[in-house]
Structure 1
Amino acid sequence: MAHVMNAAIEMALEQASRTDAFQNLPGAGQPLEFLSRPSDAVIDRIMKENQAKPLAVGLKQQLTQASAQLQNMSDARERKEQMRLIADLQTRLGLELEAMQKYG
């Protein structure tokens, strides 16, 4: 489920990006330490070599595609079925994100 501040945060980031506020930041181009733990190096390498993505990323992509398809549908029955699919994807994505936060 989206946080109520997501829209405001995205707007602030877009504004900062448009005004080049992200230029010449300290550490630019360096890996983020909290994302590069030695214990995860093997898993990261295997995922990159096999072009694997976390489940949450795949679910988010499916959700984006399903939402775009819904916009082009006019048949009420098809729209209802598509909305069911979107609700299912949103639920699965929420559960996956919650599991990631809880278990890593």
Structure 2
Amino acid sequence: MLLSEAQVEAKLADAARRGEFDDLPGAGRPLELDDDRDVPEELRMAFRVMKNAGYVPEAVRLRGEIASAEALLQAADDAAARDRAARRLRVLLDRLNQSGEGRGLISESGYFRQLCERLR
């Protein structure tokens, strides 16, 4: 069974109200964003250099643009604006899929079509 984002958010909020997250390791401390133990040892230095240089991988940049395009599509108040936002979203989703980082799941799953139908 697939849960919608709203259902997941509701379940997380209920768990937080019940205090299920209160005693997690590291609670109340900042996240350790430089934790690179999941990066293969031979790639760590290269990744650190790229990160320090401000490099953002193409897939990460595209996902940010996709989120912005989705927000524009949802906020569109007329058909022309909706059409422009939908075309932009389609281009970005295609780029992500072509990069190999989309893993073919975004457009093949019908995500784009479902999003557009839901917003009509």
In 1: Cα distance, 2:79 partner to 2:35 partner? 48
Identity fraction in percent? 20
Give the number of the structure whose residues are more often helix, by fraction.
1
Q: Does residue 23 of the first structure (1) align with residue 20 of the second (2)?
A: no
Say if 1:42 and 1:31 are closer, same or farther in 2 by CA, change over 3 A.
closer
Say if 1:80 and 1:5 are closer, same or farther in 2 by CA, change over 3 A.
same
Structure-2-length-normalised TM-score: 0.56
Moved over 6 A (4+): none
Count of equivalent residues: 92
Q: Per chain length, whose mean CA-contact separation is higher, i.e. which structure has more relative contact order (CA < 8 Å, sep 6+)?
A: 1
Aligned CA RMSD, in angstroms, stands at 3.5
Structure-1-length-normalised TM-score: 0.62
Could you tell me which runs of 5 or more consecutive residues in structure 1 were left unpaired when the two chains were aligned: 100-104
Give SS of 1:20's match. coil
Q: How does 1:1-104 map to 2 (within 5 A)?
A: 5=2, 7=4, 11=8, 14=12, 18=16, 19-20=20-21, 23-24=24-25, 31=35, 33=37, 35-96=38-99, 97=101, 98=103
Could you tell me which runs of 5 or more consecutive residues in structure 2 were left unpaired when the two chains were aligned: 27-31, 105-120
